[in-house]
Amino acid sequence: MAKKKNEWFDWFKALLFALGLAFVVRMFLFSPIVVDGPSMLPTLHDQDQMIVNKISYKIGKPERFDIVVFHASAQKDFIKRIIALPGEHVEVKDEVLYIDGEPIDEPFLAEQKQNMEPYQTLTNDFTLEELPGGYNKVPEGHVFVLGDNRGNSTDSRMLGVIPMDEIVGKAGLIYWPFDRMQIVGE
């Protein structure tokens, strides 16, 4: 009888350890997110399920074109692409992104630009100064984000620059649906 009790106790300890480990991984390292809406088309589709790396910005710095998840409000997280980093000026003129006055290629928009009609606009012209906050450069501790589907995205053009402490992590892996499984943002 004592042997059976010991076996149950061992199973209980193993289960408790597994649950604790899963909790630590979910809270501090990685978590799932479901893409909600069309703002990142064609890169990410509505209902794509992804893994968010929560430690990437604790050990490193964000890079231009990283796809990140951030707290847009207490109830809602958004997923967008980092366009400008702290200390940079950003503007779009005639469908060209300029960072500190230099044109920057956005290869993830190539397909959309190619399929546009001549009279269509993918990204309306703007300068950082015209947006919420009226900054002339992205402030320290903040980033400027845009959705890939520029005509249908609530992003820094409406929200202003995003504080780094509101960023949950870097989204990099679509794991569902299986036919879309891939690493994105590389």
5 is catalytic: no
Q: Does an H or E element contain 164, and which?
A: none
- End-to-end Cα spacing for the chain: 57
Question: Which one from 39, 56, 153, 156 is the annotated catalytic residue?
Answer: 39
Q: Is the peptide bond before 42 cis (omega within 30 degrees of 0)?
A: yes
List of residues 6+ apart from 100 with CB closer than 8 A: 88, 89
Question: Which one from 54, 56, 80, 156 is the annotated catalytic residue?
Answer: 80
80 is catalytic: yes
Closest alpha carbon to 150 in 39, 37, 36 = 39
For the annotated catalytic residues, the residue numbers are: 39, 80
